[in-house]
Amino acid sequence: MRHLPGYLDSTDQYALAGKVADILHHAPLFQPFLPRWGTPLSVRMSNCGPLGWVADKSGYRYQATHPDTGRPWPPMPGALLDLWEAVSGYEAPPEACLVNYYAPTAKMGLHQDRDEADVDAPVVSISLGDRARFRLGGDSRKGPTDSVWLESGDVVVLEGKTRLAFHGIDKVEPGSSDLLGGWPDLFPAGGRLNLTLRRVTVPGKASVR
Ligand SMILES: O=C(O)CCC(=O)C(=O)O
Ligand SMILES: [Mn+2]
């Protein structure tokens, strides 16, 4: 994977966190559930862009509307489209930006990002707020893994051999950043945001899956 430490400086991080706060005021964090077991994930989510990723008892999928409010997702901020253009090397714009919010005790188990029809496009993700330990494995759940700490402002690109690699978040280090303290109504406990930009459909083809 490509890790770009400190890609966003503190001014850009603050501006982007403000855009995310606007998004969350229109499209509040929802509680995703593991489809087969119905257990809640510890991360809460929202999205912006034409499509959003959701997880509930009927499965994982992309859809154009918020699962609780039924409203379309807010548009993707221009800063995210620009960032994608600068780092993805991909011909077409992203269609979904998943907003993950990690409260201090949240984590994300090892998984692959593979609900996209287009797996040639990279996945680009941006970290804001508390640092977190990101784990990257190979193309099977059992293989060896490696880990790296992601700090606020870091960008990660999953591309090539790592596009479908297993990955997850082991833990967040509470209190390691004060960025989200700027929005106490949304993030009273601080924590971490991760924005994951994805191309969902193959350019020129209509279907989501
Ligand atoms: O929080 C992260 O850095 C990773 C998030 C992730 O893997 C996902 O949303 O699919
Ligand atoms: Mn992922």
Is 60 exceeded by the pLDDT of residue 209? no
Would you place residue 185 in the very low, low, confident or very high pLDDT band (cuts 50, 70, 90)? very high
Phi/psi of residue 33, nearest 5 degrees: -130, 145
Separation in Å, CA 184 to CA 181, 189, 190:
6, 8, 8
What's the 144 CA to ligand 2 centre distance in angstroms?
17
As a whole-number percent, the residues of the chain with pLDDT over 90 amount to 95
Residue extents of the structural domains in the chain: 2-198
Whole-number pLDDT of residue 206:
66
Kindly report, residue by residue over 105-116, the tens digit of the pLDDT: 999 999 999 999
Helix (H, G, I), strand (E, B) or coil at 80: helix
pTM reported for the whole predicted model? 0.96
Q: Which residue has the tokens 């489209």?
A: 81
Q: Among 54, 152, 194, which is best to mutate for testing ligand 1, by the most ligand atoms less than 8 A from CB?
A: 194
Give the chain's end-to-end CA distance (angstroms, integer).
24
pLDDT tens per residue, range 22-32: 999 999 999 99
Q: Is 162 in the pocket of ligand 1 (CB under 6 A)?
A: no
Between strands 123-129 and 192-198, the pairing is: antiparallel
Burial of 187 (0-12, 13-18, 19+ CB in 10 A): buried
Give the C-alpha separation, 148 to 99, whole Å. 20
Condensed to tens digits (0 to 9), the pLDDT of residues 44-100 reads: 999 999 999 999 999 999 999 999 999 999 999 999 999 999 999 999 999 999 999
Distance 97 CA to ligand 1 centre (A): 11
Q: Which architecture, in CATH terms, is 2-198?
A: Sandwich (2.60)
